[in-house]
């Protein structure tokens, strides 16, 4: 299977999913350099969608405990992401969030 075949397959599945819903959330996961950002930008343009980067929700240094950092994805502030983005999205309420700043 070529890259274009895979891309077409992914977009076809998302097209079908989105056409059945008035509201959709699509999450993209993958290794570093795997094309997540490129795919996300394509989807945002194709569907006139909002794009949220988990890099904007990096866990602040003071919250980086040994126990937390041993967890898969422990370096991300999932609690803030859900509070500031996911909860308002699911409630279909307007929202704003602050991007992580070193």
Give the start-to-end residue ranges of the domains of the chain: 48-102
Q: For 54-58, what is the mean pLDDT?
A: 94
Confidence at residue 66, expressed as pLDDT on a 0 to 100 scale:
96
Q: Identify the CA nearest to 25 among candidates 97, 89, 91.
A: 89
pLDDT over 80 at 60, yes or no = yes
pLDDT of residue 64: 95
- Mean of the pLDDT values across residues 1-12? 83
pLDDT(80) > 90: yes
Residue 45 has a pLDDT of 94
Tokens for 84, please give them.
């500031």
Per-chain mean pLDDT for the chain: 91
What's the pLDDT score for residue 39?
A: 87
Contacts of 12 (CB under 8 A, 6+ apart): none
Name the H helices within the chain.
Answer: 3-19, 36-46, 66-69, 78-81, 87-91
- What integer is the mean pLDDT of 57-80? 94
Looking at beta carbons, which pairs linking 11-14 to residues 24 or more positions away fall under 8 Å? Answer: 11/46, 14/43, 14/47
For residues 62 and 40, what is the distance between their CA atoms, to the nearest angstrom?
Answer: 30
């Amino acid at each position: 299977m070529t890259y274009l075949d895979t891309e077409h397959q992914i977009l076809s599945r998302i097209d079908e999913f989105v056409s059945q819903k008035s509201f959709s959330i699509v999450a993209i996961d993958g290794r570093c350099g795997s094309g997540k950002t490129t795919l996300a930008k394509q989807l945002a343009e194709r569907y006139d969608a909002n794009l949220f980067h988990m890099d904007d929700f990096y866990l602040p240094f003071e919250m980086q405990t040994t126990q937390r950092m041993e967890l898969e994805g422990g370096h991300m502030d999932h609690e803030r992401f859900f509070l500031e983005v996911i909860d308002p999205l699911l409630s279909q309420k307007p929202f704003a969030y602050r991007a992580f700043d070193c």
